[in-house]
Amino acid sequence: MRVSVFGLGYVGAVTSGCFSSFGHSVVGVDPAEAKVSLINQGKSPVIEKGLGETISDAVANGRLRATREARDAVLSTDLSLICVGTPSRRNGDLDTSALKLVCAEIGAALSEKPSRHSVIVRSTVLPGTIRNVIIPELEKASGKKAGLDFGVGSNPEFLREGTALEDFFSPPKTVIGAEDDRTASELEGLYSAIKAPLVRTSIEVAEMIKYSDNVWHAVKVAFANEIGVICKGLSIDSHEVMEVFCKDTKLNLSSYYLKPGFSFGGSCLPKDVRALVHKARSLDLDLPLLASVLPSNERHTNRGLEMITQLGKRRVSILGMSFKAGTDDLRESPILEIVERLIGKGYDVRIFDRNISLSKLVGANKDYLLRMIPHVSSLLVESLDDALSHAEIVVVGNGDSEFRTIGDRVRSDQFVVDLVRIRDHSRLKENYNGISW
Ligand SMILES: NC(=O)c1ccc[n+]([C@@H]2O[C@H](COP(=O)([O-])OP(=O)(O)OC[C@H]3O[C@@H](n4cnc5c(N)ncnc54)[C@H](O)[C@@H]3O)[C@@H](O)[C@H]2O)c1
């Protein structure tokens, strides 16, 4: 394929060198004369293991050249990859000025180009940037229509400096965000030599994945460091702890606990987070990440409550009271917290949970429930039908399989507040609201 790469910094230089090593014909573009001249001499403009040889081979074989002229690059290629910098502004926002400039240049060249061209964003950009900044800039400068006259896509980069070539040739995944099939299949063609899971998705999901990834990596580092600090405070070897932690690929290093849903609860997580944070405080250790976990969880519970109260209805049926399906453990159930607060505000509440029957609950669990909601027995109903017939608002509180049928059972005048993402929520478009989707 004939590809132009805009921006010859870390990402652009690696992208240019690596794609040309697959046999693609690559033109690199950068306003910095020094970078352009280094590439044309077969040298890498950045220090990165193996990149010098890759670029030198590609230039010697005529598969890679660099220029400062955007027009030349666009007219002599079929697809442009934007790899310019997107640094932080002082207020933390993304600085899109280099992106806008490059779009104006590419757009001007597109206005002269009779054949179709695709513009793919590899720079890290906040969700919405391609639709609200890149496409308008390209359309303004070219006088053409995105999706019709030229293709637009997102293809975030996952390389790490220092191991960039390895990461490029063996990425964790290749993400292609595009609306039209032609642009997507062009991008698939570009990556055909790479064996990695290929994800085809929307432009916005592709933009967001990059942020979820990087923020997650940052959270992991901060988490490991805070665990390290508390281990040091307790004279425990943090590396031994984290080695054992990392051996658990069922709950720790896995997709478990990583689906947006409702607040956590139960007899362990809140209690244990609270105890560890307290221990850290007692050792005068400042651990803001761990200390923020319970407040974050409480905010999420408040969010659930607000979704119900802002509907302006009074009759609420809660489906599922325990913090997850298949248990009768009610301790620190965030749903119970919501029930208690709704009752306190005078709402007419009913609860259906086939695992919760006052006659069967015993010990601490029963005491906890009666302390939270003294008259709970008058609120419990026997069947899903009873709960649905009472409700103006149906709150799905846990993932019990029976609740998946409510898509067929709620009336059009009933609202559904979903805290768990029941499976067939797409049928409930009108009056349906999910807590974080
Ligand atoms: N560095 C990384 O490890 C990494 C990894 C993944 C994603 N990213 C993202 O990739 C993007 C680029 O990062 P980087 O580290 O390569 O940036 P960089 O600052 O090293 O390089 C950006 C290059 O763009 C050039 N440029 C500016 N305006 C231009 C224009 N109008 N036309 C052509 N070139 C222009 C600059 O001269 C510079 O050489 C950023 O959005 C970054 O967040 C970076």
Res. 358: pLDDT tops 90 = no
**How many angstroms is it from 44 CA to the middle of ligand 1?**
15
Cα 17 to Cα 9: distance, rounded to the nearest angstrom: 12
Q: Output 210-217 pairs: Cβ under 8 A, ≥24 positions apart.
A: 210/124, 210/156, 210/157, 210/158, 210/175, 211/124, 211/126, 211/127, 213/158, 214/124
Q: From atom 25 of ligand 1, which residue's Cα is the shortest distance away?
A: 7
Res. 53: pLDDT tops 80 = yes
Classify 144 as helix, strand or coil: coil
Classify 311 as helix, strand or coil: coil
Confidence of residue 360 (pLDDT cuts 50, 70, 90): confident
One fold for 2-202 and 301-434: yes
pLDDT tens figures, 233-270: 999 999 999 999 999 999 999 999 999 999 999 889 99
Q: What top-level class would CATH report for the domain 301-434? A: alpha beta
Cα 171 to Cα 49: distance, rounded to the nearest angstrom: 16
Across 322-366, where does the E strand assignment appear? 348-352
Rounded to the nearest 10°, the torsion over CA 113, 117, 122, 123 is 30
Cα 200 to Cα 207: distance, rounded to the nearest angstrom: 12
Res. 364: pLDDT tops 80 = no
Torsion-angle region of residue 62: left (phi > 0), alpha (psi -120 to 50) or beta?
left
Classify 301 as helix, strand or coil: helix
pLDDT tens figures, 143-163: 999 999 999 999 999 999 999
**How many angstroms is it from 124 CA to the middle of ligand 1?**
9
Domain 2-202: which CATH number of 3.30.1540.20, 3.30.1390.20, 1.10.443.10, 3.40.50.720:
3.40.50.720
Helix/strand/coil percent split, the chain, to 5: 45, 15, 40
Residue 83 near ligand 1, beta carbon < 6 Å: yes
Residue 268 appears among annotated catalytic residues: yes
Residue 29 near ligand 1, beta carbon < 6 Å: yes
Q: Where are the domains of the chain?
A: 2-202, 301-434
Residue 327: the pLDDT is: 82
Cα 223 to Cα 245: distance, rounded to the nearest angstrom: 12
Cα 147 to Cα 348: distance, rounded to the nearest angstrom: 51
pLDDT tens figures, 298-356: 999 999 999 999 999 999 999 998 877 888 888 889 999 999 999 999 999 999 998 88
Give me 1's structure tokens: 């394929």
